[in-house]
Structure 1
Amino acid sequence: MTAFGALFDRVRETSPLVHCISNLVSANDCANMVLAAGASPIMADDPEEVEEITALSRALCLSLGTPNPRKAEAMVKAGRTAARLGLPVVFDPVGVGASQFRQSIAAEVLREVPVTVLRCNASELQALSGLAQVSRGVDAGKTLPPEALRPRAEQFAAQHRCVAAVTGAEDIVTDGKTTHILRNGTPLLRRVTGAGCMLSVLTAAFVGANPDRPLAAAAAAVCAMGLCGETAAARLTGEEGTGTLRMYLMDAVSNLTGEQLDQGANDELYC
């Protein structure tokens, strides 16, 4: 049985404060996702205060979604503060392949901030790896097959000394040496705006509560999101759709227990 439950229990027990420099499209859902997991969110993206807010927090989540120069400055300043204080940083390069502007900000973050977890989809990983320059909005477009994506994720993680958590039909979470292949989830989550952003802040909550185990914590977060997606989808009736799914997803995270996470995890480990 996969031992993810204790990592989730630690989130509930410690309620880490997570500083989210979030996507404007999904900021409210991100804050509620952190609360549903038992952690505490704080949302601040002005360069004048991000260093102070980060210093109060136990983890930092940086989202590239809805970028602008002011937000880019805030992300780097917050990231440097987190590095100075030894706090974990989760970076979500939303739609990085869609524009040169996004690519330049992502490159600066990866250059200036020691990222703990890169949380992305397959097309975003390919863009960061120089294999693709265009994405279909913020969604995963044409991507490498899973057998080719895994070594690319492992290579990126090893090169940047981070954990790469790449979501797709199969989720890959790796530090370059040890790799989790996770098979929980539902395709319906792709139709909920901000599902990836919610996963990123959930990952920050897990890593903030378990800073000494970033690989396991990131894998547990990805697994929890997938399992809760399954639970939410199973509740849908014929008259309900993605709006209800979004609500049921939040309920599932709120009600999840560590024991349920261990029992429901579909995780394959490669060392």
Structure 2
Amino acid sequence: MANWYLIENVRARNPLVHTITNFVVANDSANGLLAIGASPIMAAAVEEMTELGGMADAVVINIGTLDKGVVTSILAVGKAANMAGKPVVLDPVGVGATSFRQETVRLLLKEIRFAVIRGNLGELATIAGIAWQARGVDAGVGDASQAAEIALKVAREYRTIVAISGVVDTISDGKRVITIENGDELLPKITGSGCLLSCVIGAFVGVTDDYLDAVVVASASYAIASEYAVKRLERRLPASFRVAFIDELAIWDGHNQEKLAQIKEVSQ
């Protein structure tokens, strides 16, 4: 189910990942990509989006801190990447929080073909048109048992791979549903952990045509790295965990992912 050689492929190929992200997480996203062996570009000027969209091995779009100028840049780079046949990843941060975010995501889904959409359950529920009580950019409150249904619905409608991050990660290509039950509870206690995962997924889809496999391996490896990180800590505190986690990403090709990964295919 999972081809773990993709971890080594990322290091060997050093994929160029162009990321339009929010200013809260840009530093950790860049450092996390460097740690796993990818090469980040964190640019947003519309004047260079066409070049970068064609140049990058993958493009990651994160709507965490939106304005009209950012939307223009996102559309330009997404379309350029589509034209060049490069995968584009969408992280619809807080899409349910405001009408501006909802309108923006509807526009992006109409204008850009996404290889992967990754977010929390509340964000994907909003895209699926399922009622969900959310606050700000948090996952909010709803029925977690709907994760498989939501993943399938969005994957089928937009012909993409959907990754829903949470206590249990749920991934679907519209036909299969795969769950991952790895990860430490400190992971969501650091801001941008989901945003960095979207970048890591971008690096993985940038080195293979099997996007489902790339998302599963990236998500499982990322979660397992968090389990290794807590072993480094004298006390379970978020700032210490953040540093230890990035260190674990830098050495995760030495982790025993295949034995530790709790990956299951769910019957539908």
* TM-score class, shorter: over 0.9
1:143 deviates by 2.2
Cα deviations by residue, 1:201-242 (Å, 9 ceiling, x for unpaired):
0000010011x100000111111111011111222223x510
Maintained 8 Å contact 1:29/1:198: yes
Residue type of the alignment partner of 2:163: A
State the superposition RMSD in angstroms.
1.4
Contact 2:121 2:144 in 1 (8 A): no
Counterpart CA distance in 2 for 1:192 and 1:223 is 18
CA contact (8 A) 1:116 1:163 kept: yes
Q: Which string of whole-angstrom CA distances, capped at 9 and with x for unpartnered residues, describes residues 116-156 of structure 1? A: 0000000001111222465222111102222x220121111
1:227 aligns with 2:220: no
Structure 2 alignment gaps of length 5 or more: none
Structure 1 stretches of 4+ with a deviation exceeding 4 A read none
Q: Distance in 1 between matches of 2:2 and 2:214?
A: 10
Query: What letter matches 1:23 in structure 2?
Result: N
Pairing 1:1-271 to 2, within 5 Å after superposition: 3-132=2-131, 135-146=134-145, 148-210=146-208, 212-238=209-235, 241-257=237-253, 260-270=256-266
Measured after TM superposition, the shift of residue 259 of structure 1 is: 6.2
DSSP 3-state at the match of 1:83? helix
SS of structure 1 residue aligned to 2:164: strand
TM, length-normalised to structure 1? 0.95
SS at match of 2:90: strand
Structure with the bigger RCO (C-alpha within 8 Å, sep 6+) is 1
* 251-260 vs 58-67, which moves further: 251-260
Runs (5+) with no aligned partner, structure 1: none
**Post-superposition CA distance 1:160-195 (Å, at most 9, x none):** 100000011110111011221101101211110000
> C-alpha separation between the residues in 2 aligned to 1:3 and 1:37?
18
* Alignment size in residue pairs: 267
Contact kept? 1:96, 1:135, Cα under 8 Å: no
CA shift digits 1:10-57 (9 cap, x unpaired): 111111100000111000100011111111001111111111112111
